Copies of this chain bind each other. A is one copy, B any other.
Amino acid sequence: MPQEEMKKPLILGGASPRHLEASVSDPGTPLLGILGTGDFSRSLAKRLLASGYRVVVGSRNPKRCASLFPEEAEVTTQQEAATQADLVFVAMFPEHYSTLAGLRELLAGKTLVDVSNGIKINKDRQSYAEQLANIFPDSNVVKGFNVISAWSLQMGPRDGSRQVLICGDSSRAKSAVIQICRSLGFIPVDMGHLSSAQEIENAPLYLFPSWRSPCLSTLGLFVFFYAYNFIREVLHPYVKSGKSVFYKMPVEVVNVTLPSVALVTLALVYLPGLNAALLQLSWGTKYRRFPHWLDRWLQLRKQLGLCAFFCAALHAVYSLCLPMRRSARYKLLNLAFKQVKAGQEEVWVEEEVWRMELYLSVGILALGTLSLLAVSSLPTVGNSLNWREFSFVQSRLGYTALVMATLHTLTYGWNRGFDPEQYRFFLPPTFLLVLALPLAVLLGRLALCLPCVAHQLHRIRRGWEKSRAIRFTLPDDECNGRLQEDISNV
């Protein structure tokens, strides 16, 4: 499902030659140059024209390429373009930068914008922008626009990330590029000297860096719990009584594994906040940096939470599929047969009925609460909340979901933890393993709610420090007007 298509025919029309002639005829609008005639060059030209700039494109083969550009763009030789424009975008493959060396004098004192991107992450090589700067020592090279795709350039900034990272050694040149960037509807971010170009070039090449650990931890938990359940549910009956229930592998075992993963992962969302609070309490200050691992963990809570939600949602779908299966039907029919043979007119185990009604009910509510949390994780929904609302959703609603999910598991487990039959191969039932972490988190959170602890924590978060409090009581002017609740709240 390719992202954001050209929906309004009219906006598409913006690229058609008829529009924008005004800009061309008007000598007052600034003239920008583009070297290169590829996709990015074409999209950039259209976008610049639509924002009211005049554009001259330099090509090795102007006649052949002119038809690819809107009519208002002047397509000419590289020399001519370099002569006319004071600011030139270099939109060519970096491997051909050297062919531009002949323009060195024409471009002296002018601003060159390097928009190139690498194919793989570069940690050693010089950045393309610096290579360009080596070829043009008398020009001001600015790196930028590489994080924007040709597509989002053409469709306007609503169709792509709006932040454009910019760096360069000349602040005058950088200001000009920042200005253009803003006119095009993007948000420029100054990243400093040209030496940052490598980082900027690597930016679009990272593949979900913040999702790696959460996904790996979810996967690891899945593998562990799947193996554990496989041993208990499938291997045990096979070994002990030769009963082959391998058919349980695709659905039933997965369905017992998923909620375990979901609940542990959900507990992992609230554990780091708890740790942070405990550290602040023991340090007696909020001005010490958390250890690196904790900082990183705090930043991954959203991803962990979404992983937990994904597992919980899959668990719901798997569970709902259970009664639909052939195996369930066969079992039911065989039970009916048995009941008839035994002449039992009425089977009804009140306790079992209650257990199931209860854990179903709590489970559905837990899933509903998690859904609300997931929806509020969508950027625009989260953005429309003020920080008190946001903190309410993430903290109150999040803990509600954790409590419900824990209750769901407890009622599911019922009294099976005390049934020796459940300890197959001496392995305790899965739900006992699963409950350890969430219960610990919930108890820890309760402890933080004790008035004395809560008060101390509040003081610390308002900037109070144990060390200073002992020495001297100074007005605490080193603090800001608001708690950074959303980073370290528990």
Contacts and interface: CB of A to CB of B under 8 A. Distances in A.
Nearest to A340: B340
Contacts of A400: none
A11 to B, nearest CB: 7
A306 B385 CA distance: 16
B387 A204 contact: yes
A38 B203 contact: no
A131 interface: no
Contacts of A484: 39-40, 149-151
Contact of A326 (B7, B128, B349, B481): B349
Determine the interface band of chain A, counting residues with CB < 8 A from chain B. Answer: 35 or more
Interface stretch (A20-28, A80-88, A217-225, A428-436): A20-28
Number of copies: 3
A137 interface: no
Contacts of A302: 1-5
Interface string A146-176: 1101110000111111110101110110110
Contacts of A367: 317
A158 B158 contact: no
A162 to B, nearest CB: 6
B482 A190 contact: no
Given A190-B52, A335-B333, A386 B317 contact: no
Given A156-B163, A332-B333, A486-B2, A364 B314 contact: yes
A386 B29 CA distance: 31
A347 B333 contact: yes
A479 B10 contact: no
A124 interface: no
A65 interface: yes
A323 interface: yes
Contact of A336 (B60, B147, B340): B340
Contact of A40 (B51, B156, B336, B481): B481
A257 interface: no
Which among A68, A384, A394 has the highest number of chain B CB atoms within 10 Å? A384
Interface stretch (A230-238, A370-378, A417-425, A440-448): A370-378
25 contacts: A1-B309, A3-B377, A4-B382, A10-B206, A11-B189, A11-B203, A13-B191, A18-B195, A20-B192, A28-B172, A59-B478, A92-B477, A96-B477, A117-B481, A149-B387, A158-B162, A203-B386, A204-B386, A206-B388, A247-B354, A249-B357, A320-B321, A320-B324, A321-B364, A379-B384
9 closest Cβ pairs, A-B complex? A38-B480, A1-B305, A19-B192, A40-B480, A116-B481, A250-B361, A336-B336, A38-B479, A39-B484
